[in-house]
Amino acid sequence: MAGSGRLPRKFSAEWFGAAVFAGISVWLWGPRTDAAMAGEPPLVRYEIVDDTIPASLTGAAGDAARGRAIVVNRQVGLCLLCHSGPFPEERLQGSLAPSLAGVGSRYSVGQLRLRVVDQSRINPQTIMPPYYRTKDLARVAPSSRGKPILSAEQVEDIVAFLTTLKEE
């Protein structure tokens, strides 16, 4: 048949196109759809008082166990890229930032919250990413524009965990 040589080729080109599109979609939106699909409420406004954010972003206390999981997660929090801390099971830990061991004794809850939300409020030169700031960010992919790195709930979970890290 005359056209039989072309039919499979067109077929596979379409499949290839679809696979590339799917791959790009997952890459662009995959990491963010969790929060989006969980119906994450619109961005929370927070009030900064001195070097603290006194009020919980969600109006509730976070979950320390979930917060620990985010802190040691290599995709979500990435905290251990820079920080070390009391995480004996984690082999590779960062040395670019102070250890998180004892931060719960050194800082109040409100101080910890501001440092996770936007460390640049404390130190404009910091390399620590602002986990809950959406304004004035350079180099944000269009699909991530207007979205913080973490959800308000995740920030509160992390803060709840950090407060448990008391000095021995």
Interface ranges with ligand HEC (CB under 6 A): 71, 77-79, 81-83, 96-98, 103, 112, 115-116, 119, 122-123, 126-129, 131, 158, 162
Min dist CB 82 to ligand HEC, Å, is 3
- Smaller CB separation from ligand HEC, 26 or 81: 81
Residue 108: enclosing H or E segment and its boundaries? none
Q: If DSSP codes are grouped into helix, strand and coil, which group holds residue 3?
A: helix
- Smaller CB separation from ligand HEC, 19 or 65: 65
Nearest residue to 56 (alpha-carbon basis) of 102, 117, 106: 117
DSSP 68-107: HHHHH-TTTT-GGGT---S-TT------SS---TTHHHHS
Min dist CB 93 to ligand HEC, Å, is 12
- Smaller CB separation from ligand HEC, 26 or 96: 96
What secondary structure letter does DSSP report for 143? G
- Smaller CB separation from ligand HEC, 112 or 152: 112
